[in-house]
């Protein structure tokens, strides 16, 4: 039986009565509130998404993790799925509490409502997992969770985790190369912050030595920023997939390390599909307003015919001693100052693009116009 057809874990019903805050809770200042991170789990059918979810729900990890299993498909439309429909349109099914302290529910339409219900339960959560059955492309979910006013600060997008089947990944990547349709596997890898390379034991048994390294190279040719974790039955160290802070502008250290690793990338690493990672570098300070216009032309106007999935970078902004970070998911982007440049640092601009039909020369030439 395929991984995604596994039986759900045994669960008991949650008591929905709202707990009265304790005296100590009442005394806590409001600004101590910390929003809960949301990890989006995606992957090809049969890769092991349900196996990962069941592992987390049953493992004795000491964390209180909420898992949302959505059932909205492409035909419903992501925009509708994001709408808080209120009591009249409530389609969130019962929350259930598991033996290890995790909670779980199934969502049919309103993701926002499910997240708000979690917050209103007044039960302290360490993390939220969103398993994306029925949605091949995680980008719309990521956009809503990352910079959505409706959710305010109660939850925040932590990272996107893509589970891939090590045995079948190459076939899934190659199956549509000669057709007009685009493989889901490319999108899922392109948007990932973490890729779990699952079922590596099957590859070890059937493939020649070095096969796993070749797969990892292929994944990094699509998305050099993703951290790859090998696994058997998705048994992974949770610290490697939770609290990644991939979208936290104040968590610049991790981003800088990724960009340093990617600085030598060029179109020479282009995958046959046209999906790749490119990195551009520029030492001179840029005008922030011009950078915004430049990125909007690329993301919004598609002026140069490039389809950018993800974008991450650090910027050296003129008349500022602050290192600025740039992040984008599809058409949504954010540029924010994160910290002061250090004395020993070489101040420069470094931006990584992940997407389809990227043109390195155009990106470099047009970015020079931002100086």
Residue 105 has pLDDT above 50, yes or no: yes
Task: Give the CATH number, domain containing residue 333.
Answer: 3.30.1220.10
Q: Which of 8-17, 202-211, 268-277, 324-333 has the highest mean pLDDT?
A: 324-333
Same-domain status, 59 and 175: yes
Averaged pLDDT, 216-237: 92
Count of alpha carbons within 13 angstroms of residue 132, beta-carbon side: 24
Region 298-322: what's the mean pLDDT?
A: 92
Any idea of the CA torsion for 7, 5, 134, 46, to the nearest 10 degrees? 130
Task: State the pLDDT at residue 182.
Answer: 55
Assigned domain for 124 exists: yes
- Give the residue-averaged pLDDT of 160-168: 91
Asked if the structure places residue 11 within a domain, the reply is no
Same domain, yes or no: 239 and 260: no
- Residues 231, 277 within the same domain: no
Report if residue 215 sits inside a domain. Answer: yes
Cα angle at 273 between 217 and 246, to 5 degrees?
55
Shared-domain flag, residues 116 and 57: yes
Return the half-sphere exposure (C-beta side, CA atoms, 13 A cut-off) of residue 13. Answer: 5
Name the pLDDT band for 43 (thresholds 50, 70, 90).
Answer: confident
Do residues 73 and 123 both lie within one domain? yes
Is the per-residue pLDDT at 68 higher than 90?
A: no
> Look-up: residue for tokens 């100086």?
371
Is 238 in the same domain as 291?
A: no
How many domains is the chain built from? 2
Pair (340, 360) in one structural domain? yes
Rg (CA), the chain: 21
Under a CB-based contact definition with an 8 Å cutoff, are residues 91 and 81 in contact? no
* Tens digit of each residue's pLDDT (9 = 90 or more) over 77-103: 333 333 333 333 334 445 555 555 566
What's CA 126's distance to the chain center, in Å? 18
Pairing of strands 155-165, 103-107: unpaired
pLDDT tens digit string along 259-290? 565 555 544 444 445 678 888 999 999 999 99
In-domain check, residue 16: no
Whether the pLDDT of residue 346 is over 60: the answer is yes
Task: List the single range of 129-133, 197-201, 203-207, 253-257 with lowest mean pLDDT.
Answer: 253-257
One domain for residues 84 and 162: yes
Contact 90, 113 (CB under 8 A): yes
With a cut of 70, say whether residue 148 has pLDDT above it: no
Instruction: Specify whether 236 is located in the same domain as 88.
Output: yes
Q: Which domain holds residue 56?
A: 36-98+107-248
Kindly report the CATH number assigned to the domain that includes residue 225.
Answer: 3.40.50.300
Domain for residue 361, yes or no? Answer: yes
Which DSSP state fits 136?
S
The whole-number pLDDT of residue 368 equals 95
Q: In the predicted model, is pLDDT for residue 255 greater than 80?
A: no
Backbone angles phi, psi at 217, to 5 degrees: -65, -40
Q: Is residue 47 located within the same domain as residue 161?
A: yes
Name every residue whose Cβ is closer than 8 Å to that of residue 190 and which is 6 or more positions away in sequence.
222, 223, 275, 309, 310, 354, 355
DSSP letter, residue 92? B
**Does 163 share its domain with 225?**
yes
More confident residue, 23 or 324: 324
Please name the residues in contact with 160: beta carbons below 8 A apart, sequence gap of 6 or more. Answer: 39, 40, 42, 138, 142, 191, 192, 193, 194, 246
Q: What is the spatial distance between Cα 256 and Cα 57, in angstroms, rounded to a whole number?
A: 33
Nearest to 269 by CA among 277, 281, 280, 261: 277
Q: What is the mean pLDDT of the chain?
A: 75
Residue 6 — pLDDT band, cuts 50, 70, 90?
very low
In this structure, are 178 and 84 located in the same domain?
Answer: yes
C-beta separation of 222 from 186 below 8 A: yes
Centre a 10 Å sphere on the Cβ of residue 233 and count the other Cβ atoms it contains: 14
Judged against a pLDDT cut of 60, whether residue 108 lies above it is answered with: no
> Is the predicted pLDDT of residue 9 greater than 50, yes or no?
no
């Amino acid at each position: 039986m395929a991984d995604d057809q596994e039986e759900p874990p045994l669960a008991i019903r949650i008591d929905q009565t709202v707990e009265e805050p304790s005296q100590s809770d009442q005394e806590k200042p409001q600004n101590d509130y910390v929003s809960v991170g949301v990890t989006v789990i995606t992957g090809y059918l049969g890769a092991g998404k349900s196996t990962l979810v069941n592992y987390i729900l049953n493992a004795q990890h000491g964390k209180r993790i909420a898992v949302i299993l959505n059932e909205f498909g492409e035909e419903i439309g992501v925009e509708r799925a994001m709408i808080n429909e209120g009591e009249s349109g409530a389609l969130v099914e019962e929350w259930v509490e598991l033996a290890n302290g995790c909670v779980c529910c199934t969502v049919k339409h309103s993701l926002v409502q499910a997240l708000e219900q979690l917050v209103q339960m007044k039960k302290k959560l360490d993390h939220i997992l969103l398993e994306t059955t029925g949605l091949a492309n995680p980008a719309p979910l990521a956009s809503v969770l990352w910079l959505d006013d409706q959710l305010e600060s109660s939850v925040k997008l932590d990272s996107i985790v893509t589970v891939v089947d090590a045995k079948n990944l190459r076939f899934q990547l190659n199956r549509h190369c000669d057709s007009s349709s685009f493989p889901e596997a490319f999108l899922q890898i392109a948007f990932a912050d973490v890729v779990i390379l699952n079922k590596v034991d099957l590859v070890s048994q059937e493939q020649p030595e070095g096969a796993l390294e070749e797969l990892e190279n292929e994944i990094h040719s699509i998305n050099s920023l993703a951290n790859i974790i090998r696994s058997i039955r998705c048994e992974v160290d949770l610290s490697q997939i939770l609290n990644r802070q991939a979208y936290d502008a104040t968590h610049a250290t991790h981003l800088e390390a990724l960009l340093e690793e990617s600085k030598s990338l060029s179109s020479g690493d282009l995958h046959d599909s046209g999906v790749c990672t490119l990195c551009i570098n520029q030492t001179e300070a840029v005008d922030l307003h011009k950078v915004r216009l430049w990125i909007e032309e690329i993301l919004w106007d598609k002026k140069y015919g490039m389809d950018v999935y993800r974008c991450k970078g650090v910027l050296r902004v003129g008349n500022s001693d602050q290192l600025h970070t740039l992040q984008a998911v599809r058409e949504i982007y954010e540029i924010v100052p994160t910290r002061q440049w250090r004395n020993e640092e070489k101040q420069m601009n470094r931006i990584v693009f992940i997407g389809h039909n990227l043109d390195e020369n155009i990106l470099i030439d047009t970015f020079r116009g931002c100086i």
